[in-house]
Chain A
Amino acid sequence: MHIARSKVAVIAAAVSLGLVATACSSDRDSNGSDGGGSTERFIFGAAGDPGSLDPSLESDGETFRVSRQVLETLLDHESGGTELIGGLAETWDSNDEGTEWTFNLRDGVTFHDGEELTAQVVCDNFDRWYNWTGTYQSTALSYYWQAEFGGFAENESEDTPPPNYVGCEATEDLTAVINLEEPSSVFPGAFSLAAFSIHSPKSLERYAEDEASGEGDNISRPDYSQDPEAIAGTGPFQLSNWNKGNGEVTVTRFDDYWGETAGFEEIVFRTISDEGARRQALEAGEIHGYDLVAPSDVDALESAGFEVPVRGVFNIFYLAFTQERNEALQDIDVRRAVAHALDRQGLVDTQLPEGGVVATQFVPDTIAGYSDDVTLYEYDEDAARELLDEAGHADLTVDFCYPTEVTRPYMPAPADMFELMKADLEAVGVTVNPRPMKWTPDYLDTTRDGGCDLYLLGWTGDFNDAYNFLGTWFDGYSKEWGFRNDEIFEALAASSVEPDVEAREAMYEEINELVMDFLPGVPISSSPPSIVFADSVNPPTVSPLTQEKFSEGSFK
């Protein structure tokens, strides 16, 4: 860890030296292109670059925002909601055990390169992921495959879970059947994940020529995933250009789209990492919208005539304990004390956008499986002090990590929230060592590796199932939480294979109660992340899953 950090620092230094030479010219370039830009291009400000253009290799929202316009999944979510609807599959069904999923595909769907969508193409896609070898088996490249389908045809590492995928069969031209080893609650939701988008057969041939290389945190993505020409999907837009120098991905309208033709001729996703710069670009008319609006900007933007549609709440922001790293935190009373010490309501009132609420458990209240009977930890300084005294940790000291220079959908101002929580903890006698870190790679790597006592993180749901939240964190031992609680692990495993939806939801409620009694972390809040559009645009319907379909938008 240490080596990696100093390496990063050296690179940062080198880059900062290099930037001086290049900064001025690149600024000028982008300004120049704005002046001459046609009005038909819809330009959207993104907070970060996509990792690659192939969503099956990625797990971040910036990649998916682009790929969802280009590639489509078997199942989809209703526009602006969390209900599953047909995507490339018009209808779908499973056997009673939930191990055999049948998809009846849409007729007449063509890929951007002219190929036809058939059941065999769907199976080829799934088989490609299942047969991944080498570097592709690293969780850095196949996070979602491993999370939802387990391992591969031939696992190369002991850490890789056994595969839950058995095979895919094209029983008819447009009927694909996917077989699973065991039922799992992630299905059918997982079939809607951007990571499992269907690629054209020609693209698959092209992909097979490339290899990913490297290991650990030094993985280089295969060439095809950086090449907009190589990737063809069925979506309303096709990839046309990725200008990495300017941080711009361009997609153009696909006229043979099976659904309704897109309203914009061309969309440019321009990376502007700074929150303030995004806002300035919008106000200056350089972009037509951007994501992750700072809560304090919402009113000002609205009164300036911009549209700031409100998304549904579908995330959880939490304070995590890494119990292994700090012995005191293994004491339930200490964890309770921390929960009592935090004024979460105050934080929600002063920091989060309108519509934010205090979270009582590790799922948002809009999801089935939310329990009304969890243990609540009210803001109570005296109770916190008492608990610490009783536990013999009145002099508790914690390393508290927080990310700098980042906004996440669930966490608009991490540094300010950290300050508030730090003051709360100090008020009950806890000594807090602040550990600010850059979001990537330092913060994510360190927290995942269990390098902090306390840290702030959150999760936006991928689909409407509580397992997508609870299972992500508590389905087994992980370094980031650093605890073993077999009761919770087993309960989650049991819920995962329960095919009956109602029974499963009842199990989730129990698990939520279990988790909140054990208190592996303190859920802080759920809040709607804001997105903004210029007045000249009919914006697409916003999605609580942050899965906007830009094809719905158009210029007025």
Chain B
Amino acid sequence: MSTESNEPREPDDAAGDTGASPEGTSPGSAVPEPVGTATAPTAGATTGGPEAAAPAGPERAESPLAKARMSKADKIDRLAQLTAQRTTASGDSLWVAAFRRLRSSKMAIIGAVIIAVFVILAIIGPWIAPYSPTAQTWRGEVFSNRGIFVGPRAENWLGLDNLGRDQLSRLLVGARQTLLVGVVATVIGFVVGALIGGVSGAALALGGRTGQRIDTVIMRFIDMMLALPSLLLAVSIAAVMGQSLTTVMIAVGVVQIPIFARLLRGSMLAQANADYVLAARSLGVRRRRIVLAHVLPNSLGPVIVQCTLVLATAIIEAAALSFLGLGNLDAAQPEWGVMLAQAQRFFDAAPMLAVWPALGIIITALGFTLLGEAMREALDPKLRS
């Protein structure tokens, strides 16, 4: 983020040059400032204007330290840039190559299996749950005031919770709630983020001077949002809006907006420099049409990849918000975060009550993270042999 603040007059340093192919140059492009400063890796250290670091490209050597210093915005821009390339050296589509790499990665397979199991359980959970998750059928058998709990037994495989409800049923039904929040939040983040990023990207790529200003304004707001720790931002939103499941979805969704916006914008800028856009421009195709029919569809790839990554964080954050008591108004409805929060009080007497939802959250997040990281690696040309 630091580069922006160092260069008030140059609104687009990190992503403006994303058209640069690995060869380091791009054909004469119509973008006002076609060649930007260094891309992400050294962005923090680069203070000069476009002239100062003109030849820099993504090929620049990158130390682990520099990588660690990459800001969130830089990382997002880099992902946009990398995934914007259409073909690899071998001529295969990037996506085909990436998928092949994914298939051979154990990490990705494990992740995918976990996610598949989770999604299936979340969808069919309510039907296979042995009992109603909210019925306090056995409440006379649990004495939370005296630390007497009922552990696993023949009728209740995972035992009973503190109000005499079947723990297994609650876990199964809770999975759906968790997935639902994750998916809706991601959709909110995707739609709004894509809208903002699309406008910004289109304005900068094809809007001339005015477009540049529009982009600057939008991106500074986005950067501000990115600068806030995501969970903190979500908690603040949820606190202002009041407690409900919708709040959690919106809060977690809003947190994802800047990521999607920045990603789509970077990706669109990369496309804007492509030959086919130049061709379209020279043929006199109207700008609006170029953006909508050419640039946008071709830029959506990385954003869709991002969706899977975001789902993982969305699920964790949704559980965190519920854990903090900002989730569903009806606390009887099972949700992993709520279950964990409730079990916490009885951790000494019945640790398993907390262990089950915690395991659920950990394993699911692990699945999404494994798959997401594998996808990132598969798409990153730096890691390709």
Contact = CB atoms under 8 A, between A and B. Distances in A.
A114 interface: no
Contact residues of B: prevailing secondary structure: loop
A295 B139 contact: no
A137 B147 CA distance: 47
B329 interface: yes
Contact of B344 (A276, A299, A354): A276
A365 B212 CA distance: 77
Interface string B141-178: 01111110000000000000011000000000000000
B105 to A, nearest CB: 36
Interface in B7-57: none
B232 interface: yes
Contact of A420 (B139, B236, B329): B139
B278 to A, nearest CB: 46
A500 interface: no
A434 B143 contact: no
B130 interface: no
Contact of B144 (A9, A351, A405, A434): A351
Given A20-B229, A353-B145, A434 B330 contact: yes
Given A275-B345, A276-B345, A416-B144, A346 B235 contact: no
A352 B145 contact: yes
Interface stretch (B93-101, B109-117, B238-246, B370-378): B238-246
Given A13-B240, A434-B329, A350 B139 contact: yes
Contacts of A412: 145
A350 B165 CA distance: 14
Interface residues of A, number: 37
B145 A351 contact: yes
Contacts of A420: 136, 139, 163
B140 interface: yes
A17 B136 CA distance: 39
B236 A296 contact: no
B347 to A, nearest CB: 8
Interface size grouping (class) on chain B: 20 to 34
Contacts of B239: 9, 12-13, 16
A346 B140 contact: yes
A436 B139 CA distance: 22
Could you say which of B135, B332, B349 has the most chain A C-beta atoms within 10 Å of its C-beta? B332
B331 interface: yes
A206 interface: no
B242 A294 contact: no
Contacts of B146: 295-296, 299, 354
A137 to B, nearest CB: 34
Contact of A294 (B143, B329, B345): B345
Nearest to A279: B348
Contacts of B135: 423
A489 to B, nearest CB: 36
A300 B348 contact: yes
Given A434-B331, A436-B329, A300 B163 contact: no
Contacts of A17: 232, 236
B162 A416 contact: yes
B360 interface: no
Contacts of B131: none
A435 interface: yes
A296 B242 contact: no
B364 to A, nearest CB: 26
A293 to B, nearest CB: 11
B136 A423 contact: yes
Contacts of A416: 144, 162-163
A541 interface: no
Nearest to B331: A415
Interface string A341-369: 00000100111111000000000000000
A419 B146 CA distance: 18
Contacts of A415: 331, 342
A296 B346 contact: yes
Interface in A382-413: 404-405, 412-413
B235 A404 contact: no
B366 to A, nearest CB: 27
Interface in A469-522: none
B381 interface: no
Contact of A9 (B134, B242, B344, B345): B242
B325 interface: yes
B292 to A, nearest CB: 38
B235 to A, nearest CB: 6
27 contacts: A6-B240, A9-B241, A16-B239, A17-B232, A20-B229, A20-B232, A295-B146, A296-B144, A296-B345, A296-B349, A346-B139, A349-B140, A349-B145, A350-B139, A350-B140, A350-B142, A350-B143, A351-B144, A352-B145, A353-B145, A404-B325, A415-B331, A415-B342, A419-B332, A420-B139, A423-B163, A436-B325
Report the 5 A-B pairs with minimum CB-CB distance, sorted nearest first.
A295-B145, A13-B236, A12-B239, A13-B239, A9-B240
Given A20-B232, A412-B145, A416-B162, 10 more contacts: A13-B236, A16-B236, A295-B146, A350-B143, A416-B144, A419-B136, A420-B163, A423-B135, A435-B329, A436-B243
